[in-house]
Amino acid sequence: MNSFVPWDIRVTIDLFLGGVGVGAFLLALFAAAFGESYRLLRKTAAVISPVAVCMGLLFLIFELGRPERFITTLFRNNPASVMSWGVYLQAGFVILAVVYAVLVLQQKDEEGLGGLVKWLGGLFAVGVGLYHGFLLSSNASAALWNNGALPVIFFVSSVLSGIALVVLVNAVIPAHVTTAETAAETAAGGETGSAFNLNLVNIILLAVELLTVFAWMFTMARGNENMVFNLQYLLANYGTQWWLGAVVVGLVLPLVFSIYGLQSAKKGQVGSTLTTVTAVLILIGGFVLKNVILAAGQVNYPLF
């Protein structure tokens, strides 16, 4: 029996950064729906999105045994292979995200072809976000992966991480800070738009993620011997990382902070200390969650 673990941390980095790109793009669309008050946030998100996805893809390419052949995946395909779908989804998404970023920077994203790029990009973003999970869940013999909860866990984690990175970049680059004041200034400048409470967005996503993770773990714990074996393997070898990193730091604390912040509109602004700290926690937790699931899922229960 071959005990080689084929996919190392470079694959996690790709899944994480790819997820960040997906989340950032969806945040840009979300911010756009709130009008001009989030123009700066939209810009940051739109720029981060293709940069993150491309960086992730670089790691993935250098994880290949034959990096120079990566381009052949565009003309050699296999309709049954989820990875093959991913090649086209990611290629399409990168192109759309770059075009969208350029349009946003030129403030042309709401006119002409901008609308088409936006919605098509949104579709591809969801596609790529789901692809990450399906790539893993399509492996029948990987008990931790081969279930319906996994793509949801990965997708929601991606969206959370994407939002978090944009919020963090917004906070550390002063010119990009979108606070109550800048939002008010934009509004005073005659622009239209309304505000959203970032904490509320986080609460909804974190609650969905926590519930799905719980459902997933419960199903594994009460599953067949492969499921029980793999869950035990995960908890025995990555227990601290899982409970402390992925669950407490990545989900529970951000949820608590977000609920605490919900009481005040100011604390819910992108750029407030609370949302920035929450963003850092979500990023750490998101990475750990994906890495633990990826590493532990590759270990198979003995065949006999």
Place of tokens 């920077």: 105
Instruction: Please give the span between the terminal C-alpha atoms of the chain, in angstroms, as a whole number.
Output: 11
Whether the CB-CB separation of 289 and 250 falls below 8 Å is answered with: yes
Q: Which is nearer to another protein, 88 or 196 (CB)?
A: 88
Number of residues lying near another protein (CB under 8 A): 34
State in angstroms the smallest separation of the CB of 229 from another protein: 13
Mark the segment that binds another protein (CB under 8 A) among 73-81, 105-113, 163-171, 249-257. 73-81
Shortest CA distance to 29 belongs to which of 162, 154, 157, 174? 162
Judged by DSSP in three states, 35 sits in: strand
User: Does 219 engage in binding with another protein (CB under 8 A)?
Assistant: no
Mark the segment that binds another protein (CB under 8 A) among 31-39, 97-105, 240-248, 296-304. 296-304
Which tokens hold the place of 85?
Answer: 């779908």
Integer angstrom CA distances of residue 217 from 36, 220, 247, 293: 42, 5, 12, 11
Place of tokens 């981060």: 48
User: Does 148 engage in binding with another protein (CB under 8 A)?
Assistant: no
Which tokens hold the place of 73?
Answer: 């995946």
Taking residue 215's Cβ as centre, other Cβ atoms within 10 Å add up to 15
Subset of residues 98 to 117 that bind another protein, contact rule: CB under 8 A: none
Among 12, 182, 202, 298, binds another protein (CB under 8 A): 298
Among 9, 51, 55, 84, binds another protein (CB under 8 A): 84
User: Does 72 engage in binding with another protein (CB under 8 A)?
Assistant: yes
Mark the segment that binds another protein (CB under 8 A) among 3-11, 122-130, 234-242, 277-285. 3-11
Q: Which is nearer to another protein, 49 or 298 (CB)?
A: 298
User: Does 87 engage in binding with another protein (CB under 8 A)?
Assistant: yes
Q: Which is nearer to another protein, 188 or 303 (CB)?
A: 303
Taking residue 115's Cβ as centre, other Cβ atoms within 10 Å add up to 12
Whether the CB-CB separation of 50 and 94 falls below 8 Å is answered with: yes
Among 10, 138, 169, 215, binds another protein (CB under 8 A): 138
Q: Which is nearer to another protein, 4 or 172 (CB)?
A: 4
C-alpha–C-alpha distance, residues 6 and 4, integer Å: 6
User: Does 141 engage in binding with another protein (CB under 8 A)?
Assistant: yes
Subset of residues 36 to 65 that bind another protein, contact rule: CB under 8 A: 63-65
Q: Which is nearer to another protein, 172 or 304 (CB)?
A: 304
Among 10, 35, 70, 253, binds another protein (CB under 8 A): 70
User: Does 4 engage in binding with another protein (CB under 8 A)?
Assistant: yes
Phi-psi region of 86 (alpha: psi -120 to 50; beta: other; left: phi over 0): alpha
C-alpha–C-alpha distance, residues 230 and 235, integer Å: 9
Among 33, 83, 113, 204, binds another protein (CB under 8 A): 83
Q: Which is nearer to another protein, 6 or 190 (CB)?
A: 6
Provide DSSP, 161-223: HHHHHHHHHHHHSGGG---HHHHHHHHHTT--B----HHHHHHHHHHHHHHHHHHHHHHHHTS
Interface residue list for another protein (CB under 8 A): 1-4, 6-7, 63-66, 69-70, 72-73, 76-78, 80-84, 86-87, 138-142, 298, 300, 302-304
